[in-house]
Structure 1
Amino acid sequence: MKSLQRQLFLAFTLIMALTLGGLAIVLGQTFPILQLQESSSESDSIVRHLDEMGIAMENSEREELRQRIAGEDPGVAPVQFLRLIVIVFTVAFIVTVIVFHRLTDRYIRPIDLVTATTMELAKGNYSARAGWTAPGTQLGMVTAVNALARNLQEMESMRETEAERLETLIANMGSGLLMIGRNSEISMANSFFLNQIGKDDDRLIGIPYKAAALPEALVILIDTVSIREKPVTEQIDIIAETGIRTMAVYSAPVIDKHGGWLGIVVVMHDISELIRLEKIRKDFVANVSHELRTPVTSIKGFSETLMDGAIQDESAAMQFLEIIHGESGRLEMLIEDLLDLSKIEKEGYVLRLQPVNVNEVIERSVRSISGRLKNREMTVEVDYPHELLIKADPERLVQVLVNLLTNAVSYSKPGTLIKVTAAETAGMASISVTDQGIGIPAEELPRLFERFYRVDKARSRDSGGTGLGLSIVKHLVDLHGGTITVESEPGKGSTFTVSIPLADK
């Protein structure tokens, strides 16, 4: 597209060229008339001069004289005249063009710059600017357009920033988000939602939600919102790669201020962990109640029996008192473990970490269960480096190993062997306790460290355990920044491995 300055300049040049050319042609056509008039005037002057001198001339002689004067050197004067016209008109044309170019450059070019800038702004190029700095009334117009361009550029930058923030927020939020347009087509789905249902964004966006193979319960929920045109909240189960997940789903219609239907929004939050924790809490309350009720019932029953007269029978009374003493000891052990676990789980609990030699911790732990080992005629075989320092709380680490060794003694046959080994592995000290006990089925391993969880409930209770030992072990190992793993085979035994960070050298 030609600029306004160029168009005006070409038009003015063409008009000036035509005008000056026309004038040149007209002047060229009138030159013979002027020349004839000049010749007549000259011949008349000669005749008058002759008359004054007393020489009379007839009319035929006068005509002949006029023609002779007009015929002398007829080509010189027209050529000089035309040359003069061309030179004058050319100079006039050039001067006029230069002056007009200066005027258009001063007053029309800013308009072209502003027009070009506004066209770029309309295309979305907010970095465009009108480059004009000359003083004058046009500078205000150019300055205003440049200010508008800067404002639009800043607004576009802010809009892009906000859009990126919103996109990042939606993509990384801990809840699933699904947007359905007015035509029942899926317009947006964040990564959390796609991961939960196992779908790909490219295959989901733009297709009707009923054809997107969404979970049936979710489709029914969306249909309900579409019919009722009111928000709906439900709890649904979705089959995911990690298993069945429980979702709290909130779905609501999107309606503009004029009542127009825009679509449906679905927000899905994974509450599987909350459901699991709630179940653990309920199981914990039930297990605590059960574990407390058993010794309390025994104590109450035998004490009532003694009060009813059995105390008179010395042998029976002693037997009942031994039972009461044993049950009270079990009750005391349960309460101590509960208090210990509560203290460990309490926020702000801090271990007294210090460099500790692993062999000292193992030796102390083995000495602590020496009585149990003697009663069951079992032995412990130890294998550890002479010097292996770890960063740990020695008392709590002894508690960890004592719990593991106690379980190994309780769930192994009398006369069997327990192995305790220690080694350095990838910046960690690994301490393993291996028994030859009953073993643990593979399906039971994930729940092994839950409070009051028992693999063999009858035998566990007979062993005198509270069901809290492994839960305490897991919490203490986590507080040390370590890990605990289990390898087990039913009927052959189990190996518990505790990994604790090494001490700084």
Structure 2
Amino acid sequence: MSLKIQIRLGVSLMLGLLLGLGSYVIFTIHRLESEGPVVQAANARMAQQAVYLFLGISTLLGIVLLVRLPRLVVRPLHRLTADVERVAGPGPATRVSVAKNNEVGSVAAAVNRVLRQAEDERRATLAELITQRNRTDSLVRSLDEGLLLIDQQGLIVLTNPVACLLLSLPPKELLGRPAAEVARTNDMLRDWLAVLSAPPTAEHASQGPTYLVRPHGENLHYQLTVTAIEAFNEDLKKSEPAGHVLCLRNVSDFKNLDQLKSTFLATISHELKTPLASINLSLMLLQDERLEAAKRQQVAGGIRAETQRLLGLVGQLIEVARLDAGGDLKLNPQPVPLPEVVRYATETIKAQLDDKQLQLRVRLAEPLPHAQADVEKTTWVLINLLSNAIRYSPHGANLTIHVKPWGEMVQLSVEDEGPGIPKEYHIRIFQRFAGGPRAAGMPGGGSGLGLSISREFITAQGGQLWVESQPGAGSCFTFTLPAAG
């Protein structure tokens, strides 16, 4: 039975008793007026007793209703309030109990619906927060930069694998610990905190020093940047300090480029200075009128050779500048007989061979298909490979050129008996300005451009260029070109 019906029933019963009492009194009065004195006295006593009875019953019913009705209304509300507080508390309860199918039960059911909807929204929000946290955690973990977050109390609240690698500490020994405490036994973190404690600058972020680390045997350079964090205080309506972010950016590529630039400038200066000094000395000799004619011709030939060397070097620089500017290689592919390319290249470097008394052997396979290639670019590559082989070969050594079919390609190799190249340089020597290792008793590396340009020439024609070498066993540079159809 609903609470409303119970209240109406109690009030109706009370009103019924009162109306019954009133009706009985009125009926009794009319009856007494029409009766005799003796009968009136007897009936009056009976009416008085009936009125007292009605009054007693009404009073008792009123007391019952006075006690029962508030309890009937308040007790379910108290129980509902207790259930709501229990659900709102930290316990496991998530629903209020629906004891009866009345108004309070309806309110409890409505509260449960609200709680269920709030629980669904909370779960959706929690799932979204977990997703965002995992995404942020994955982003932080995948950064190539070291990241360390220190709050206003000096506690380390966030780190990533790169920072742990630089500090040589696992995350469990960093997170939640005071940074100053960790720095007592970690020199790297102590240096970082020294930048953090430096006087603040006008800039939002302050640059720190660059650190050199060797986590896997390779040189890595990291630039420290310290950025202050501010949080907005809603109560005070202003921003307050919330900690610092220590970011270590991997600047190894920039350092390597800077080193390559310095090496290139030193190398190119040497490469330019040597022929210029030779030309200058030769011109001084030519000014001597006592010099014989044959000797003059020899000196003039030396000037011509050094001039060609300078022109070749400048040509390499121009070619690199054009390629870096996005210029396309202008190729003229056509069927090319490689024996003719080999003949022209060997005639070009014949003077260099004779100067070091090197023995050149050419081995051409039979039959040998033509190559679909650009004659000028292919000849340039072969001359460059031969010049490198001559440079690093000892006096009286052998040079061998191999030309043979290779599937749908044609393969050409230049093999020398020089000092060889360690495996770790096999990729680096094809990078611009990189150059190779310096061997004892051998001249320094060239400009570091020839092999880079050669690979681009061969790759543009659909071929490949690589090296096979090991220290003490010479080197073999090989390139392939498509066979002419």
Which interval holds the TM-score relative to the shorter structure?
A: 0.5 to 0.7
Match of 1:219 in 2: 190
Structure 2 residue 235 is matched with structure 1 residue 239: no
User: Within 5 A, what are the aligned runs for 1:353-502?
Assistant: 360=336, 362-371=338-347, 372=349, 376-382=358-364, 395-408=376-389, 411-412=392-393, 413-415=396-398, 417-421=400-404, 423-424=406-407, 431=411, 433=413, 435-442=415-422, 444-445=425-426, 447-449=428-430, 450-451=432-433, 453=435, 455-456=438-439, 459-460=442-443, 468-477=449-458, 484-498=465-479
Secondary structure of 2:325's counterpart equals: coil
User: Within 5 A, what are the aligned runs for 1:71-470?
Assistant: 125=121, 175-190=145-160, 193=163, 204-209=174-179, 216-226=187-197, 228-229=199-200, 231-241=206-216, 243-255=218-230, 260-311=240-291, 313-343=292-322, 345-352=323-330, 360=336, 362-371=338-347, 372=349, 376-382=358-364, 395-408=376-389, 411-412=392-393, 413-415=396-398, 417-421=400-404, 423-424=406-407, 431=411, 433=413, 435-442=415-422, 444-445=425-426, 447-449=428-430, 450-451=432-433, 453=435, 455-456=438-439, 459-460=442-443, 468-470=449-451
Secondary structure of 1:492's counterpart equals: coil
Q: Is the Cα–Cα contact under 8 Å of residues 422 and 430 in structure 1 kept in the other structure?
A: yes
Q: Which amino acid aligns with 2:11?
A: T
Q: Which amino acid aligns with 1:186?
A: I
Describe the shift of the 1:127–1:25 C-alpha distance in structure 2 as closer, same or farther (beyond 3 A).
farther
Unaligned 5+ segments in structure 2 are: 44-102, 233-237
- Asked which structure has the greater CA Rg, the reply is 1
Describe the shift of the 1:201–1:430 C-alpha distance in structure 2 as closer, same or farther (beyond 3 A).
farther
**CA deviation after TM superposition for structure 1 residue 448, in Å:** 2.8
Unaligned 5+ segments in structure 1 are: 1-8, 48-58, 67-106, 129-152
CA distance in 1, matches of 2:166, 2:480: 33
CA distance in 2, matches of 1:109, 1:385: 101
Describe the shift of the 1:109–1:491 C-alpha distance in structure 2 as closer, same or farther (beyond 3 A).
same
Q: Is the Cα–Cα contact under 8 Å of residues 235 and 248 in structure 1 kept in the other structure?
A: yes
Describe the shift of the 1:169–1:470 C-alpha distance in structure 2 as closer, same or farther (beyond 3 A).
same
**CA deviation after TM superposition for structure 1 residue 159, in Å:** 9.8
Describe the shift of the 1:477–1:189 C-alpha distance in structure 2 as closer, same or farther (beyond 3 A).
farther
Describe the shift of the 1:126–1:490 C-alpha distance in structure 2 as closer, same or farther (beyond 3 A).
closer
Q: Is the Cα–Cα contact under 8 Å of residues 434 and 493 in structure 1 kept in the other structure?
A: no
CA distance in 2, matches of 1:250, 1:24: 89
CA distance in 1, matches of 2:182, 2:404: 55
Residue of structure 2 aligned with 1:18, choices 10, 31, 34: 10
User: Within 5 A, what are the aligned runs for 1:31-110?
Assistant: none
Secondary structure of 1:378's counterpart equals: strand
Deviations 1:12-71 (A, max 9, x none): 23312322344566778899x689959978xx79x9xxxxxxxxxxx89x99xx9xxxxx
**CA deviation after TM superposition for structure 1 residue 220, in Å:** 1.4
Match of 2:91 in 1: none
**CA deviation after TM superposition for structure 1 residue 234, in Å:** 1.6
TM-score, normalization: structure 1? 0.60
The number of residue pairs the alignment matches comes to 404
Secondary structure of 1:234's counterpart equals: strand
Secondary structure of 1:275's counterpart equals: helix
**CA deviation after TM superposition for structure 1 residue 441, in Å:** 3.9
Deviations 1:75-126 (A, max 9, x none): xxxxxxxxxxxxxxxxxxxxxxxxxxxxxxxx99999999778767876828
Describe the shift of the 1:237–1:415 C-alpha distance in structure 2 as closer, same or farther (beyond 3 A).
closer
CA distance in 2, matches of 1:193, 1:384: 61
**CA deviation after TM superposition for structure 1 residue 328, in Å:** 2.8
Q: Is the Cα–Cα contact under 8 Å of residues 150 and 243 in structure 2 kept in the other structure?
A: yes
* Aligned-pair identity (%): 22
CA distance in 2, matches of 1:378, 1:436: 10
Secondary structure of 2:469's counterpart equals: strand
Describe the shift of the 1:470–1:190 C-alpha distance in structure 2 as closer, same or farther (beyond 3 A).
same
Q: Which amino acid aligns with 2:10?
A: L
Q: Is the Cα–Cα contact under 8 Å of residues 430 and 499 in structure 1 kept in the other structure?
A: yes
Describe the shift of the 1:388–1:297 C-alpha distance in structure 2 as closer, same or farther (beyond 3 A).
closer
Please provide the CA RMSD for this pair. 5.4
Describe the shift of the 1:193–1:485 C-alpha distance in structure 2 as closer, same or farther (beyond 3 A).
farther
Secondary structure of 1:451's counterpart equals: coil
CA distance in 1, matches of 2:186, 2:411: 47
Q: Is the Cα–Cα contact under 8 Å of residues 485 and 497 in structure 1 kept in the other structure?
A: yes
CA distance in 1, matches of 2:107, 2:157: 44
Secondary structure of 2:377's counterpart equals: helix
Higher helix share: 1
CA distance in 1, matches of 2:389, 2:168: 43
Secondary structure of 1:448's counterpart equals: helix
TM-score, normalization: structure 2? 0.62
Q: Is the Cα–Cα contact under 8 Å of residues 145 and 250 in structure 2 kept in the other structure?
A: yes
